[in-house]
Amino acid sequence: MNLIRIKNLYIAYFIEHKKRVILGSIICFLALAWGFAQYSGPEISPAVPFLFLLGIAGASFQSSLKKNNTTHFFNLPVTAGEKLVNAIAVILTFCIIICAASLAGAYVGYYFLHPFLNPSGGHQVFINEISQKGVFNYLLQPLQGLLYFAAALSTFLFGSIYFKKNAIWITAAIGLGFFICLGLYIIALLYIVFGSLSISGEVSLQARNLDFLLQYYFPIAITLFFLSLTYLRLKETEV
């Protein structure tokens, strides 16, 4: 793996997509600023950078799959591993930039716009909730949340190389369908095993171990699984 080739790919991406970086930062800054200036914003506005980053991951290889770019991209003197590392580096850079812009917007919204728009200090519950935690801690996600976010990013990254068109929407639709089917399966299984949709207190499912498995091991496994599939798909497409 050649770091110089990865660096060249990395620089070339941001030269080509610098408008996307600037536009995304502005959108996330404004969304968080307006969200923290309002009363219901902190529950809704953080979804904007989350969705934007999923879109970046889902579009990572889409331009390379277009007819005019396919031959050029897959004939570059770089390996599939180097292309994958570059894509991960690009996504991580976007995460840092977007999170910084979002945090700045949240501070501006809460400390400047909120007092200006609400000089009487209305909705004291909102003010107290943020002031006790601080803006940064309010937006800070727990580890399991970050792991699930990494799993979602790796899923959309794989979708960007697997689907030739509309990868973001197709990946989102398949993911939503999978979780709906999984939920229906669990409900049906509970009904078949226990005869109802509730579990009696006498039945032990080792909930603590199950929670740890779902919170940590499961998203890590999903992330590694889709990163491996992305690498294999890159190798397969090159061939």
pLDDT tens for residues 56-103? 888 888 777 665 555 555 566 778 888 888 889 999 999 899 989 988
- pTM of the predicted protein model: 0.76
User: What percent of the chain stands above pLDDT 90?
Assistant: 9
Overall residue count recorded for the chain in this entry? 239
Residue 148 has pLDDT above 60, yes or no: yes
Number of separate domains in the chain: 1
Residues 186 and 181: their CA atoms lie apart, in Å, by: 9
pLDDT in tens, 172-201: 898 888 878 877 877 777 667 666 555 554
For residues 217 and 104, which has the higher predicted lDDT (pLDDT)?
104
pLDDT score, position 129:
62
pLDDT score, position 39:
63
Check if the beta carbon of residue 224 is closer than 8 Å to that of residue 157.
no
Residues 50 and 54: their CA atoms lie apart, in Å, by: 6
Residues spanned by the domain of 151 = 3-238
Check if the beta carbon of residue 60 is closer than 8 Å to that of residue 87.
yes
Confidence class for position 202, pLDDT limits 50, 70, 90: very low
* Closest alpha carbon to 65 in 198, 225, 234, 191: 234
pLDDT score, position 156:
92
Cα torsion 205, 207, 208, 213: sign: positive
Residues 13 and 73: their CA atoms lie apart, in Å, by: 12
pLDDT score, position 201:
47
pLDDT score, position 179:
79
**Count of C-beta atoms within a 10 Å radius of residue 144:** 15
